């Protein structure tokens, strides 16, 4: 599970970096949405580890909270880009 969290968690940053270098709004949105998928997977694994009692919630509050905050930020970026694209 740790390796999976490492893969999905670091992929979010890679997708964001690719989005920053996007050649179009559509590509920007696509890259961010890919990052959001990876972020959702990361949150899933963090929650799974806590709920299955592999680790206590006290050990994971910061990463889980940060992942959820990043999810909100990226979701807002995608929504804003889609709204701009419609103009």
Q: What is the pLDDT of residues 47-76, one digit of tens each?
A: 898 888 888 778 777 888 899 999 999 999
Domain ranges of the chain: 2-86
- Tokens 């995608």 sit at which residue? 78
pLDDT at res. 86: 84
pTM of the model: 0.86
pLDDT in tens, 6-34: 999 999 999 999 999 999 999 999 999 99
Residue among 30, 31, 38 at smallest CA distance from 12? 38
Query: Can you read off the two tokens belonging to residue 44?
Result: 């899933």
Architecture of domain 2-86: Up-down Bundle (1.20)
- Report the pLDDT value the prediction gives residue 79, as an integer from 0 to 100: 97
What pLDDT score was predicted for residue 83? 95
Structure-token pair, residue 65: 């909270």
Is the backbone of residue 30 left (phi > 0), alpha (psi -120 to 50) or beta?
alpha
CB 45 within 8 A of CB 5: yes
């Amino acid at each position: 599970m740790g390796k999976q969290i490492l893969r999905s968690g670091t992929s979010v940053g890679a997708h964001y970096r690719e989005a920053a270098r996007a050649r179009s709004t559509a590509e920007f949105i696509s890259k961010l949405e890919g990052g959001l998928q990876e972020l959702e997977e990361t949150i899933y694994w963090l929650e799974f580890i806590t709920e299955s009692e592999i680790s206590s919630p006290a050990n994971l509050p910061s990463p889980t909270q940060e992942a959820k905050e990043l999810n909100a930020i990226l979701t807002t970026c995608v929504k804003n880009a889609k709204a701009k694209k419609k103009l």
